[in-house]
């Protein structure tokens, strides 16, 4: 059985196909493994390539060189695109860019409907996903009436309804107030701890918000991108309550 949920193997990515313009290099020789059930936070400055690697794990982008695997599936396998996106869901910074329906429960149902899931199963998934993010009381509300934190939780519910093994969140709290940030962080902590969902969270600056997390420093050195291989655990006992 594949023990790694996500695996980047010597990945290069150029935003210009010729690859000759140094400024076009987004990823250079990235090796990264994320185990199943892991909660990994990748921190780095704007422009450090965090979002670029995240989009590789959901097949939004494909490597210019190297390979990316999601639960053992090479993202270059075009006929496995929906298998990959079902296994690794993505939550973006601005929930308004991810919410597509005018009613909360319809938005959460959007993903399973596109997978061809049976209506009865969709109903079950929607109810379970909204309950998982504590938004079941807002099922019939319009997303435009919700707070930023509530919208982001709806976006997470939409991913959960796809039954993913992993959720990748690209700076999901950047546009939220302190209350909204707390709502989202507590939600993803619970999904990891209680449901065993692999969490990869990308952020500019991390401020004592998690339980027991593994941090991966991601920064640019000179003209090349480098992932620092040394990882470390930061135990915040006060947040385990």
Average of per-residue pLDDT across 126-148: 95
Asked, for residue 114, whether it belongs to a domain, the answer is no
Asked, for residue 131, whether it belongs to a domain, the answer is no
Domain containing residue 23: CATH number? 3.40.50.300
Asked, for residue 73, whether it belongs to a domain, the answer is yes
Residue 217 banded pLDDT, cuts 50, 70, 90:
low
pLDDT in tens, 52-103: 999 999 999 999 999 999 999 999 999 999 899 999 999 988 899 999 999 9
Asked, for residue 60, whether it belongs to a domain, the answer is yes
pLDDT in tens, 96-109: 999 999 999 999 99
Asked, for residue 208, whether it belongs to a domain, the answer is yes
- How many domains does one find in the chain? 1
Asked, for residue 61, whether it belongs to a domain, the answer is yes
Asked, for residue 40, whether it belongs to a domain, the answer is yes
Write a three-state SS string for the chain. Answer: CCCEEEEEEEEEEECCCCCCCHHHEEEEEEEEEEECCCEEEEECCCCCCHHHHHHHCCCCCCCCEEEEEECCEECCCHHHHHHHHHHEEEECCCHHHCCCCCCHHHHHHHHHHHCCCCHHHHHHHHHHHHHHCCCHHHCCCCHHHCCHHHHHHHHHHHHHCCCCCEEEEECCCCCCCHHHHHHHHHHHHHHHHHHCCEEEEEECCCCCCCCEEEEEEEEEECCEEEECCCCEEEECHHHHC
Asked, for residue 28, whether it belongs to a domain, the answer is yes
| Percentage with pLDDT > 90 across the chain | 50
| Residue 223 predicted with pLDDT over 50 | no
Residue 49 belongs to domain spanning: 1-91+204-240
Contact 116, 163 (CB under 8 A): no
């Amino acid at each position: 059985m594949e023990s790694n949920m996500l695996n980047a193997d010597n990945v290069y990515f150029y935003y210009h196909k010729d690859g000759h313009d140094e400024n076009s290099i987004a990823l250079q020789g990235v090796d990264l493994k994320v185990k199943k059930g892991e909660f990994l936070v990748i921190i780095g400055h704007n422009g450090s390539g965090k979002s670029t690697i995240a989009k590789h794990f959901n097949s939004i982008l494909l490597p210019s060189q190297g390979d990316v695997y999601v639960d053992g599936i090479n993202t270059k396998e075009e006929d496995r695109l929906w298998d990959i996106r079902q296994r690794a869901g993505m939550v973006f910074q601005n929930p308004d860019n991810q919410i597509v329906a005018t009613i909360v429960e319809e938005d959460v149902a959007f993903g399973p409907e596109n997978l061809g899931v049976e209506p009865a199963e969709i109903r079950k998934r929607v109810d379970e996903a909204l309950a998982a993010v504590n938004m079941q009381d807002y099922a019939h509300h319009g997303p435009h009436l919700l707070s930023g934190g509530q919208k982001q939780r709806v976006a997470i519910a939409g991913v959960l309804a796809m039954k993913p093994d992993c959720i990748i969140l690209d700076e999901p709290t950047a546009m939220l107030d302190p209350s909204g940030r707390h709502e989202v962080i507590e939600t993803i902590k619970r999904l990891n701890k209680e449901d065993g969902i692999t969490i990869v969270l990308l952020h500019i600056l991390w401020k004592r918000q998690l339980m027991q997390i593994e941090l991966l420093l991601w920064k640019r050195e000179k003209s090349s991108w480098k992932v620092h291989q040394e990882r470390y655990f930061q135990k915040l006992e006060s947040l385990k309550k």
